[in-house]
Structure 1
Amino acid sequence: MASGWLCKGSGPPSSPPVSRLIAFLQQVQQAALSTLGDSSSFDPKTYVDLPLRFSLHRTSCAFRSLPRSSDGIIPPETFKNFVNDYFFEAGSDLIDHIPVDYVAEPADFLPHVKDQGLRTWALKVHAIWLELARQVAPSVEHEPDRHTLLPLPNPVIVPGSRFREVYYWDTYWIIRGLLVSKMFQTAKGMVENLLHLVKVYGFVLNGARVYYENRSQPPLLSAMVREVYVATNDTELLQEALPILIKEHKYWTSGPKQVTVLDGTGRKHFLCRYYAKWNAPRPESFTIDMQVAKEVNVNKQETLYHDIASAAESGWDFGSRWLRDGENLSTMFTSSILPVDLNAYMFQMERNIAYIAAVLGNQSIATKFRKAAKARQLAINSIMWDDEAGQWFDYALDPEQCEAHLNKVVYVWDEKFQRKITSASNFIPLWTSIFKSGDSKIEKVVNAIARSGLLFPAGVATSLRETGQQWDFPNAWPPLQHMIIEGLFFSGSTEGRRLARTIAQQWIQTNYVVFTETGHMLEKYDATICGGTGGGGEYKLQTGFGWSNGVVLSLLSDFELSLGDPITYSGLSLVR
């Protein structure tokens, strides 16, 4: 088994006992799959989330002593008894929590929602925060060698179902929803949890588990800080956050995560990529990754594992945009791609840091990051923008276009390495205001979205490729809907605002219909049909769901809606 890079050079590595714990839980995960035998209902993450009842030494000795058949299979009942005897239930080290700022119907909650049916639903979505609120159990901090969960200073809102811990980019949309719910203290606590992770590790982990120490996720912490500040005017949060955000920015602009590209005029640009510090199967998907790696030569498996983990860092795990052939996971080459959305988030981060510094009166930092944002803006539009297509494309790094300049590797831009595939990610820069209001290119982007083929009756499809992966057609993901809706609305384009209204209406409608029929908010939906549910990927459709709730509450806050019946909406208008 490949050892992996456990946070090498990017923060404190897991202690040897914790590393041994992960390795042992991977063995239990493998035994579970071979013993229970039903891969269709098997979720490997369950087995690396199990808290130990006893010491690792005692538990691993008991595991080794279990009877096995000649081919190494543990009898099913024996294995089940072992798990029950030596582990607590997955998720039991997070305990239920009632947020101190939750009330059943907050004052001034969604004042523009007049329709009683819609308002009743909105209050039910608001109430789901109680179902998702958790506090990390004290045992996690006191007995770290028995848990893969990480301690956090404040209570949390988890996404839901198998996602029992805090996740980085999910938290942005959870916070957007919490602010609508007037749960300002909970939202601030969530931000402080992520700031704590940066203090400890130098970056925000993918999720609050030790096995996520090898990667981050889309960097939206600065946006969370800004959203909470705008809602609360809490300058103490800004003072705490500023040096930590600068630290996170350094993580994303250092080492292999930052790449130099020369444009057609020879001008040097700096852009970022996803690049996990890991070259082994992901612990939470160990058995799945090993199966994928069987399709490639053993000498290339570590590279594939690295690119799988890097795709997980993107939040898009997985989709055709990371695959050389657009179909097979074994052709993943994530770390050789400069992603449009990541660099748009970096542009937003740099602008947010400049804004926060200006509010605090630190003009030198504000000026520095305004310049960084301007350089990023130029880089994105020089390397990724396609004027004829009216959108931005990911850029593939080709070794043959690589040169050495002053002992540093640089890539020479060539249009043929723009990955001109249809993807919702191509339009994320609009959300981060990459063009100034009135720029004629905005209308090109709006028109490109309208004719992209991604717009369906229930929202924006992730791509036009139907690969069976969850970040592809026909799935529609809440964060992508929200970013595209807000990007269109705040673009200043009349047609953009009209399109934003349409997508917002469709998204609210499909969420309402699914909730009415199932009683659940879902992680993802089917863009092609109102009330359609998402699917695909390496795990079952999840309910809860943090970012879905946040997006719905945000849209209901921003739009006036009325319900004619459970299927038909009328009276749509913008609040802001």
Structure 2
Amino acid sequence: MAPFLYHTNRKRHFLFLFSVFILSQSLPPMALTNPLSPPSSCTKGPGPVIPVTPLLSFLVRVQETALQTYGKSNFDPKHYVDLSLKSNLSTTVEAFDKLPKTENGSVSVKDFEGFIGKYFNDAGDDVVYAEPVDFVPEPHGFLPKVENPEVRGWALEVHALWKNFSRKVSSSVLHHPELHTLLPLPRPVIIPGSRFTEVYYWDSYWVIRGLLASKMYETAKAIVTNLIFMLDTYGHVLNGARAYYTNRSQPPLLSAMVYEIYNRTGDVEFVKKSLPPLIKEYRYWNSDIHELIIRDAEQCNHFLNRYYAMWNKPRPESSTIDEELASKFLNDSEKQQFYRELASTAESGWDFSTRWMRNSSDFTTLSTTTILPVDLNIFILRMELDIAFLAKTVGENAITEDFLRASQKRQKAFSSIFWNENMGQWLDYWLNNGADCEEPQTWKAENQNQKVFASNFVPLWIDLFNSDIHLVEKVTKSLKNSGLLCAAGIATSLTNSGQQWDFPNGWAPLQHMIVEGLSKSASMEARTVAKDIAERWIKTNYVAYKKTGAMHEKYDVEKCGEFGGGGEYTPQTGFGWSNGVVLAFLEEFGWPKDKKIDCD
């Protein structure tokens, strides 16, 4: 039944996109004020800050003491804010304050470890194994295009990892949430793996794509249910399910998750339940802190979006790192702005990259809040199209028309604000420093960031763009000449900065969005490039898995079979979105019986 629904719904979506074009000719143009969101303004002054819990404030103190006690070697600050209490906070704080400390704030290793063991459960103990209700070792109709027995055996091992990483919150989190930084969630989750023992927002889209390839539809729906629970509880989908993530979101892909699940299952009731939260999230991303107005060369105003975290302090999960980075700033206001930039970059999912720096050699020039990112605005365009489609599915035609108008306006912005004809790419746009954001900023060609990043090609993911064969062929040529295509996939940037979202690292989400966009095109050349990239990515995942026994968070695209590095934590294994993208690629492209899988 599911394959029939999948192809039927794909056909419906094609017809819907055709109707987008027809309706765009007949709908009246949008007024200056976006009717789907509050009036736009830039936040002046210090900006909003989400309050922190007393437990989290205390755990940051524990984290700082741990650094003083153990030193930087193999120190992971996240570990200490993931600890849960064995007893009430006041008793634990009192015991901590009585620990004998040296002048620099350190405690003897013996005393500190004794304190941790007596008063805390270990990080990760607040999630417990949850048997997935829909897991079977080899689902019926699993990856029918994979004919090579060696590749098929590996794919089944990757499929089995869903069972390994299925978790639910412990009963203690549900009954005593004040003892935990892990947030209570109603349904089981799939965690990424390693140090990441909680569910993450944008990771979940590619986890779900893999779950759908594995026919695990109920597990996929449960993830969406949890994300909607966070949206209803906190007003936005959190970066992740920890108290220290309440100050920011992540790339908004909830509507895409709902669309993909409906596309496979045809579950109209699921769509009906999801539609109001999706509209609520859309309004959040188009609220005053995220939305700005840019006036193009033809004097047309465009509502576009940025990342903006509700935080101006060190990130609790990286507090000791952030404080050291901010030490070069002399006054508090500069430090607070830098801390907001750090958190806003984390909201982007690209933490960290030279993409967000005014000076690529100086990390403290992070300026994420002054950038209109291509990919964020593509995600919101997709949100508009998804909501319009899903609303039409359940008969909410007025909502459909509203969101079609919004998508029509944003599509025009991509042509006039982000598109660079000479490069054949869509480029991030830098806002003017010190400008009054309550007034429209005038578009300037020099404000486009002409450095090459994989995100410059993400608009291909949207059918409105990949259906234009002439545009696709121009962008495909640009991608081939960009320097990003490497032996094992698409590099994130051309700058080897030591940051993890830069060269030579390749990330599963970027491979998937670009490949899927190219493969949907009518261009034979684009589809050939897509297949080639997918095969390179599958190979490097396979070879690395055979060498290390694990899937990895990121890969070194210069070398087939090597995992990536860089950034503020050690390379992680698991790994949710890598598993999901490999399964999605194998489902789409398969692997012939006689085709080799080793690195060439």
Structure 1 equivalent of residue 581 of structure 2: 551
Higher mean alpha-carbon deviation, 80-89 vs 216-225, is at 80-89
Structure 1 gaps, min length 5: 570-576
Structure 2 equivalent of residue 526 of structure 1: 556
One-letter amino acid of the counterpart of residue 379, structure 2: Y
Measure how far apart 1:380 and its partner are. Answer: 1.9
Per-residue Cα deviation, 1:57-103 (whole angstroms, up to 9, x for no partner) = 01111100001123321001111111111100101010011101111
Alignment of structure 1 residues 137-152 onto 2, 5 Å: 137-152=170-185
One-letter amino acid of the counterpart of residue 523, structure 2: S
For residues 6 and 392 of structure 1, what CA distance do their matches in structure 2 show? 31
Structure 2 equivalent of residue 266 of structure 1: 299
Measure how far apart 1:196 and its partner are. Answer: 1.1
Structure 2 equivalent of residue 355 of structure 1: 389
Structure 1 equivalent of residue 598 of structure 2: 567
Structure 2 equivalent of residue 279 of structure 1: 312
Q: Which of 352, 376, 382 in structure 2 is aligned with 1:318? A: 352
Matched, 1:160 2:193: yes
Secondary structure, aligned partner of 1:178: helix
Q: Which of 229, 236, 240 in structure 2 is aligned with 1:207? A: 240
Structure 2 equivalent of residue 100 of structure 1: 133
Structure 2 equivalent of residue 495 of structure 1: 525
One-letter amino acid of the counterpart of residue 111, structure 1: P
Q: Which of 489, 498, 505 in structure 1 is aligned with 2:535? A: 505
Measure how far apart 1:235 and its partner are. Answer: 0.6
Structure 2 equivalent of residue 465 of structure 1: 495
For residues 355 and 113 of structure 1, what CA distance do their matches in structure 2 show? 32
Structure 2 equivalent of residue 180 of structure 1: 213
Secondary structure, aligned partner of 2:468: coil
**Contact between 2:65 and 2:106, CA under 8 Å: does it hold in 1?**
yes
Alignment of structure 1 residues 319-398 onto 2, 5 Å: 319-398=353-432
**Contact between 2:182 and 2:198, CA under 8 Å: does it hold in 1?**
yes
Structure 2 equivalent of residue 53 of structure 1: 86
Secondary structure, aligned partner of 1:485: helix
Q: TM-score, normalised by structure 1?
A: 0.94
Secondary structure, aligned partner of 1:269: strand
Structure 2 equivalent of residue 572 of structure 1: none
For residues 515 and 597 of structure 2, what CA distance do their matches in structure 1 show? 22
Q: Which of 485, 506, 509 in structure 2 is aligned with 1:455? A: 485
Structure 2 equivalent of residue 118 of structure 1: 151
Per-residue Cα deviation, 1:520-562 (whole angstroms, up to 9, x for no partner) = 0000000001011100000000000000000000000001213
Alignment of structure 1 residues 400-415 onto 2, 5 Å: 402=435, 408-415=438-445
One-letter amino acid of the counterpart of residue 22, structure 1: L
**Contact between 1:384 and 1:393, CA under 8 Å: does it hold in 2?**
yes
- Identity within the alignment, %: 50
**Contact between 2:370 and 2:433, CA under 8 Å: does it hold in 1?**
no
For residues 122 and 516 of structure 1, what CA distance do their matches in structure 2 show? 12
Structure 2 equivalent of residue 226 of structure 1: 259
**Contact between 2:357 and 2:363, CA under 8 Å: does it hold in 1?**
yes
Measure how far apart 1:47 and its partner are. Answer: 0.3
Matched, 1:81 2:114: yes
Secondary structure, aligned partner of 1:409: coil
Structure 2 gaps, min length 5: 1-45
Per-residue Cα deviation, 1:347-392 (whole angstroms, up to 9, x for no partner) = 0000000000000011100000011011111112211100111111
Measure how far apart 1:566 and its partner are. Answer: 4.6
For residues 288 and 229 of structure 1, what CA distance do their matches in structure 2 show? 42
Measure how far apart 1:295 and its partner are. Answer: 2.1
For residues 568 and 67 of structure 1, what CA distance do their matches in structure 2 show? 56
One-letter amino acid of the counterpart of residue 470, structure 2: S
**Contact between 2:217 and 2:265, CA under 8 Å: does it hold in 1?**
yes
Change (3 A) 1:5 1:268: closer
Q: TM-score, normalised by structure 2?
A: 0.90
Q: Which of 273, 277, 288 in structure 1 is aligned with 2:321? A: 288
For residues 103 and 459 of structure 1, what CA distance do their matches in structure 2 show? 31
One-letter amino acid of the counterpart of residue 318, structure 1: F
Measure how far apart 1:296 and its partner are. Answer: 2.2
Change (3 A) 1:73 1:436: closer
**Contact between 1:276 and 1:313, CA under 8 Å: does it hold in 2?**
yes
**Contact between 2:385 and 2:407, CA under 8 Å: does it hold in 1?**
yes
**Contact between 2:561 and 2:599, CA under 8 Å: does it hold in 1?**
no
**Contact between 1:7 and 1:213, CA under 8 Å: does it hold in 2?**
no
Alpha-carbon RMSD across the aligned residues, in angstroms, is 1.4
For residues 385 and 289 of structure 2, what CA distance do their matches in structure 1 show? 23
Secondary structure, aligned partner of 1:255: coil
Per-residue Cα deviation, 1:442-476 (whole angstroms, up to 9, x for no partner) = 21111111111000010000000000000000000
For residues 73 and 490 of structure 2, what CA distance do their matches in structure 1 show? 28
Structure 2 equivalent of residue 444 of structure 1: 474
One-letter amino acid of the counterpart of residue 344, structure 2: S
Per-residue Cα deviation, 1:7-44 (whole angstroms, up to 9, x for no partner) = 64xxxx66xxxx1111100000000011011x131110
Count of aligned pairs between the two proteins: 553
Per-residue Cα deviation, 1:203-234 (whole angstroms, up to 9, x for no partner) = 10000111100000000000000001111111
For residues 491 and 526 of structure 1, what CA distance do their matches in structure 2 show? 28
Structure 2 equivalent of residue 573 of structure 1: none
Per-residue Cα deviation, 1:378-433 (whole angstroms, up to 9, x for no partner) = 11221110011111100000136x468xxx32211100000111100001111023
Q: Which of 311, 316, 341 in structure 2 is aligned with 1:307? A: 341
**Contact between 2:66 and 2:106, CA under 8 Å: does it hold in 1?**
no
One-letter amino acid of the counterpart of residue 500, structure 2: Q
For residues 457 and 103 of structure 2, what CA distance do their matches in structure 1 show? 56
Secondary structure, aligned partner of 2:76: coil
